[in-house]
């Protein structure tokens, strides 16, 4: 779980959304670790003329409910979008006999549905009415392709080199049934019903073309829970995400997105998502004193400040020692090991969700982090950092990587296009 910071929220609010729901940007920015801060209960937006399938008089919406993210754009939504309070990650495998033609039709259906739901409109057919009164609630739907997708569709020559399988890591205890997949969908929203509504619509749209391989459900702090934007905390109680790259930084696009002239051409303005289900061994972690926990991470638990002093955003002094000559930030501290300047500049945009799936058969919490990170090339982003963690991260004793996936996420669809069209019809 590399230690990186919160990206600036990137949204495209408009005065009016399709279906008459006013689009308002959330007040405040969101952390890549899960914050989406807004004025819950603030200035209300009202649905005007309701679209087909809506109630005759739509319910008034707060700024949280009325906030909408554009589906069409240079990049797919859900990458630099402020992280939402609720998320679903789901992978699909194409059905037996389904190929390129069926995949193209599926992505066309999915894109049309995502565009409608993200605008606060009902699905075109058989809408469940689950999100009838909710508004768009910052819904995003993001689509990606796994390594196996290209053989299934006869597009092996178009498979990116960057999509080669990830190497094995010593911390891996991977469940193959909950790893990889032909297709991947990330859903996020600031209303749990909106997120579930989108999940059901995507599953229904799959029809006979694809079946669910695995699904994972996550959460983050609710919008407006704090009075000012703050980096989120993970289930270990640690401030998580302090050094994430920010969209305002000059090299952000180079680190996160495939360039216009990149290879293959259909991945221009796209990104690669590494998805890991990381179990936190909370019973063991919580036996440590707060001081011992801080030594594992290399940061103060209360504030996120480096143990070398200052505030959360103060650069970490890796050479500072105490009166006995010991390094203030331990040599195996997680925050030390994951620093980009300790990994040849390797960096990624972390955008995870926490999860809690009850108690497992051993009576311990099945909880942790649905780790999602974005980068222009995983061989220069996730892989070198994870290899470094493998060689002596103090946190590795308290986490277990239980599933893994790597997906090529193409650039955003232009108006009139569907996601992946340049691959499937190129």
Span 381-404, pLDDT tens digits = 999 999 999 998 999 999 999 999
Helix (H, G, I), strand (E, B) or coil at 90: strand
Predicted confidence (pLDDT) per residue in 66-118, tens digit: 999 999 999 999 999 988 999 999 999 999 999 999 999 999 999 999 999 99
Helix (H, G, I), strand (E, B) or coil at 326: coil
* Beta-carbon count within 10 A of 242 CB: 22
| Closest to 114 in 3D by CA, of 105, 123, 106 | 123
| Mean pLDDT of the 367-379 span | 97
Known active-site residue 240: yes
Instruction: Give the predicted TM-score (pTM) of the model.
Output: 0.87
**How far, in Å, CA of 324 to CA of 322, rounded?**
5
The C-alpha angle 20, 219, 82, rounded to 5 degrees, equals 55
Contact criterion met (CB below 8 Å) for 249 and 7: no
Contact criterion met (CB below 8 Å) for 407 and 148: no
Helix (H, G, I), strand (E, B) or coil at 354: strand
Q: Which residue has the higher pLDDT, 335 or 5?
A: 335
Active-site residue among 240, 253, 377, 393? 240
| Mean pLDDT of the 185-209 span | 98
CA distances (Å), origin 84, targets 140, 194, 353 = 9, 11, 9
- Asked whether the predicted pLDDT for residue 374 surpasses 90, the reply is yes
Within 5-99, residue ranges assigned H as helices are 63-66
Predicted confidence (pLDDT) per residue in 223-257, tens digit: 888 888 888 899 999 999 888 999 999 999 999 99
The separation between CA 207 and the C-alpha centre of its own chain, rounded to angstroms, equals 25
- Asked whether the predicted pLDDT for residue 3 surpasses 90, the reply is no
All residues at 6 or more sequence positions from 244 whose CB lies less than 8 Å from its CB, including other chains? 4, 5, 6, 7, 31, 32, 33, 349, 350
Burial of 287 (0-12, 13-18, 19+ CB in 10 A): exposed
Question: What pLDDT was estimated at residue 41?
Answer: 34
The chain-wide mean pLDDT, for the chain, equals 88
In the chain, what percentage of residues exceed pLDDT 90? 77
**Partners of 286 in the beta sheet?**
none
Question: What pLDDT was estimated at residue 232?
Answer: 86
pLDDT class of 124 with cuts at 50, 70, 90: very high
CA distances (Å), origin 106, targets 183, 205, 409, 422 = 11, 7, 16, 14
DSSP state of 263: S
The C-alpha angle 217, 218, 219, rounded to 5 degrees, equals 145
pLDDT class of 13 with cuts at 50, 70, 90: very low
| Closest to 5 in 3D by CA, of 38, 29, 37 | 29
All residues at 6 or more sequence positions from 149 whose CB lies less than 8 Å from its CB, including other chains? 94, 103, 155, 182, 183
**How far, in Å, CA of 325 to CA of 27, rounded?**
46
Predicted confidence (pLDDT) per residue in 17-30, tens digit: 333 333 333 333 33
**How far, in Å, CA of 12 to CA of 57, rounded?**
26
The separation between CA 266 and the C-alpha centre of its own chain, rounded to angstroms, equals 22
Helix (H, G, I), strand (E, B) or coil at 243: coil
| Mean pLDDT of the 323-336 span | 96
Q: Which residue has the higher pLDDT, 133 or 285?
A: 285
- Asked whether the predicted pLDDT for residue 43 surpasses 50, the reply is no
Helix (H) or strand (E) holding 114: helix 100-118
Helix (H, G, I), strand (E, B) or coil at 201: helix
């Amino acid at each position: 779980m590399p230690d990186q910071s919160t990206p600036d929220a990137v949204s495209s609010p408009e005065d009016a959304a399709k279906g008459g729901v006013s689009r308002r940007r959330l007040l405040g920015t969101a952390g890549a670790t899960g914050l989406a801060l807004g004025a819950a209960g603030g200035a209300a937006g009202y649905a005007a003329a309701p679209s087909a399938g809506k109630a005759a008089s739509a319910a008034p919406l707060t700024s949280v409910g009325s906030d909408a993210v554009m589906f069409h754009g240079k990049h797919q939504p859900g990458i630099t979008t402020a992280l939402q309070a609720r998320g679903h990650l789901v992978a699909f495998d194409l059905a037996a006999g389904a190929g390129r033609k069926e995949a193209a039709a599926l992505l066309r259906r999915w894109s049309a549905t995502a565009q409608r739901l993200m605008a606060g409109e009902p699905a075109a057919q058989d809408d469940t009415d689950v999100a009838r009164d909710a508004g768009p609630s910052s819904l995003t739907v993001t689509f990606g392709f796994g390594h196996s997708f290209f053989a299934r569709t006869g597009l092996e020559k178009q498979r990116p080199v960057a999509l080669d399988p990830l190497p094995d890591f010593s911390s891996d205890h991977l469940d193959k049934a909950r790893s990889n997949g032909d297709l991947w969908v990330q859903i996020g929203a600031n209303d749990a019903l909106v997120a579930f509504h989108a999940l059901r619509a995507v599953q229904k749209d799959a029809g006979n073309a694809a079946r669910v391989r695995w699904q994972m459900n996550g959460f983050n702090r609710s919008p407006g829970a704090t009075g000012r934007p703050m980096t989120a905390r993970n289930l270990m109680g640690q401030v998580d995400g302090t050094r994430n790259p920010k969209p305002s930084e000059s090299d952000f696009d180079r680190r996160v997105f495939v360039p216009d002239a990149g290879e293959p051409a259909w991945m221009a303005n796209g990104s690669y998502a590494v998805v890991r289900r990381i179990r936190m061994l909370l019973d063991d972690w919580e036996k440590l004193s707060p001081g011992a926990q801080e030594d594992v991470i290399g940061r103060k638990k209360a504030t996120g400040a480096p143990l070398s002093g200052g505030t959360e955003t103060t650069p970490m002094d890796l050479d500072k020692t105490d009166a006995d000559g010991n390094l203030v930030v331990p040599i195996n501290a997680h925050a030390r090991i994951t620093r980009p300047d300790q990994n040849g500049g390797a960096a990624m945009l972390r955008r995870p969700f926490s999860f809690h799936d009850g108690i497992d058969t051993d009576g311990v919490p099945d909880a942790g982090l649905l780790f999602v990170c974005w980068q222009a090339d995983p061989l220069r982003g996730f892989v070198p950092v994870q290899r470094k963690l493998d060689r002596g991260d103090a946190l590795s004793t308290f986490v277990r990587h239980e599933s893994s996936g790597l997906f090529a996420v193409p650039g955003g669809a232009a108006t009139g296009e569907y996601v992946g069209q340049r691959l499937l019809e190129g």
